[in-house]
A and B are shown apart, each in its own frame.
Chain A
Amino acid sequence: MNIKKSKEDVIHFIFLILGLIAVGSVLVITVYLVISGLPAIREIGLVDFLFGTRWASTAAEPEYGILPFILTSIYGTAGAILIGVPIGFFAAVYLAKMAPRKVCSFMQLCIGVLAGIPSVVYGLVGMLILVPGIMNVFNVPDGASLLAAIIVLAVMILPSVINVSLTNLQAVPRDYEEASLALGATTTETYFRVTVPAAKSGIFTAIVLGIGRAIGEAMAVMMVAGNVANMPSLFQSVRFLTTAVASEMSYSSGLQRQALFSIALVLFFFIMLINATLLVIKKRSQTV
């Protein structure tokens, strides 16, 4: 056995262990969530749990229906995508194709800062400025609502939407655009008819990443959404899947705690669905 070979072996072994840490974490979390999430679903009943419209976990006769949370998470995410994606997408087109270089580098710096702001800060600013703002502008009794959460989430997904779209727009070969321009199309026509379709899959990826970020956010949402288990409505106080777990976990016990794990399991399922979509998009763009 020569020394060089054995050195290699040791290094390989260490790297294998390091790689296994990530795999192990995923496995442990998945197994733990499934094991701790299933008992409550079995006890409450899958249909009652997923489609029950009333959540009263500490009442004398507790009820565990999470339909309000599921719908709120879907509506909230959809709203954030509806507002955030157009803004982020057009900003990316501008940055990639039209902006002067100085403006572009300054804006990218700002986007980097936006991406680095902790979510609790988003929540705090939302709580102190956005919530009273909504109350005054729309003349409602209280501004903590689905709308406030949607606006906060829309801003939070901007950096990932812009950055991923930008990278993909910049990766479109210059030849495509030059061919289009040579055929007499204006620059704007070229960008939207040639460049954007060519970067299509990248832009879908950006949207899916945005959905993933929005549906998984807890802290900022908890501070602006009001956290009452109402069925979702724009100016009502609502509770998301994430905040349902986060807000009650610290003092929970018994079936209530198990039900919170079940909510986490449902959330986990949603995230898996989003990851699967992402994989499909990537596969498809490779085969085209």
Chain B
Amino acid sequence: MKKLAMIALVALCAISFVFASGASESTQNVSTDGSTSMESVIGSLAEAYMAENPNVTVTYNPTGSGSGITAVSEGRCDIGLASRALTDDEKAGGLTETVLALDGIAIIVNNSNPVNDLTLEQIAALYTGEIANWSEVGGADAPVVLIGREAGSGTRDGFESITGTEDLCQYRQELTSTGDVITTVSTNPNAIGYASLSAVSDSVKTLTVNGVAPSEETVLSGEYLVQRPFVMATRSAEPLSEAAQAFFDYALSSEAAPIIAGAGAVPLN
């Protein structure tokens, strides 16, 4: 009897294998590799694209901008993803840069904070602890409480690279989501934080940087400084595969723009 049960179990396993493998017939693969900051943008684009084209699989490997660029130049993926502009060396090495979208990062403080504007240098000085009191930048006589994101977060990486404060930030709190940052800043009158532009609400005050308020227009025009490009890098010498080219065109189409905006970035089209 035990044997019979065993046979039934094995048969069940075998059947499930057959059915599982039967589904993967004639699918085309588009591989992307790179920036962790672009996870939500690429993720939602891939999801929408695969819903329309069920025979195409878009994969995304979150390794970081540098690794993504290496991967595409070595031919290990179709499209490399970088959340920074390509360097001249990288372009000379045979890569083409196509800007997919722009990412604006808002600098936020508590609604009761009298400060309205900071320069990029002041923001860097605040976050490295050089300026430790709000009175030095025109606020009340109170200590500055620095709120940031956890190591590895794309927003943190973006903020620190734009302000030039990599590994120097003297955070008081490292929170794991944009929502937590906004909540914390809204409950502490001395807090300053950063968050993706699309996520900011009325519960906190968004600062102007060098006199420019962040918005889609000022990010697109380049006037608002705390921003960076989301780049798709491709090999200049050889054309993309048919499936990859179709996805590439889709990502840049006006159809994809609302999806990119929904994922928190500013689309170029």
Contacts and interface: CB of A to CB of B under 8 A. Distances in A.
Given A227-B173, A228-B171, A247-B176, A141 B151 contact: no
B184 A144 contact: yes
B172 A144 contact: yes
A143 B190 CA distance: 11
B192 to A, nearest CB: 11
Given A142-B145, A251-B62, A57 B183 contact: no
Given A226-B173, A228-B171, A237-B172, A13 B150 contact: no
Interface string B134-172: 000000001111000011111001000000001100011
Contact of A251 (B152, B173, B180, B190): B152
Contacts of A252: 152
B188 interface: yes
Indicate the size class of the contact surface on chain B.
20 to 34
B153 A251 contact: yes
Given A128-B183, A141-B145, A247 B63 contact: no
Contacts of A248: 150-152
B264 interface: no
Contacts of B174: 226-228, 237, 239, 247
Indicate the size class of the contact surface on chain A.
20 to 34
A6 B166 CA distance: 69
Nearest to B148: A228
Contacts of B77: none
A106 B172 CA distance: 42
A209 B173 CA distance: 30
Interface in B158-207: 166-167, 171-176, 180, 183-184, 187-188, 190-191
B92 interface: no
Interface string A244-286: 0011101111001000000000000000000000000000000
Contacts of A59: 166-167
A250 B154 CA distance: 11
A9 B183 contact: no
A253 B173 contact: no
Contacts of B175: 227
Interface string A1-29: 10000100110010000000000000000
B183 A127 contact: yes
Contacts of A6: 1
Contacts of A250: 152, 176
Specify which of A9, A237, A247 lies most central, judged by the most chain B CB atoms within 10 Å of its CB.
Answer: A247
B188 A135 contact: yes
B64 interface: yes
Contacts of A57: 151-152
A18 to B, nearest CB: 13
Nearest to A222: B176
B5 interface: yes
A222 B187 CA distance: 17
Nearest to B170: A228
Given A128-B187, A250-B152, A251-B153, A142 B173 contact: yes
Interface of A: 1, 6, 9-10, 13, 56-60, 127-128, 131-132, 135, 141-144, 222-223, 226-228, 237, 239, 246-248, 250-253, 256
29 contacts: A9-B2, A10-B5, A13-B5, A57-B151, A57-B152, A58-B157, A59-B167, A127-B180, A132-B187, A141-B142, A141-B143, A141-B172, A142-B145, A142-B173, A142-B188, A142-B190, A142-B191, A144-B173, A227-B173, A227-B175, A227-B176, A237-B172, A237-B173, A247-B174, A248-B151, A250-B176, A251-B152, A251-B153, A256-B152
Q: Which 8 A-B pairs have the closest CB atoms?
A: A251-B152, A226-B173, A141-B143, A58-B151, A6-B1, A59-B167, A227-B174, A247-B150
Interface of B: 1-2, 5, 36, 62-64, 142-145, 150-154, 157, 166-167, 171-176, 180, 183-184, 187-188, 190-191
Given A57-B151, A141-B142, 8 more contacts: A13-B2, A13-B5, A127-B187, A239-B174, A250-B152, A251-B153, A251-B154, A253-B64
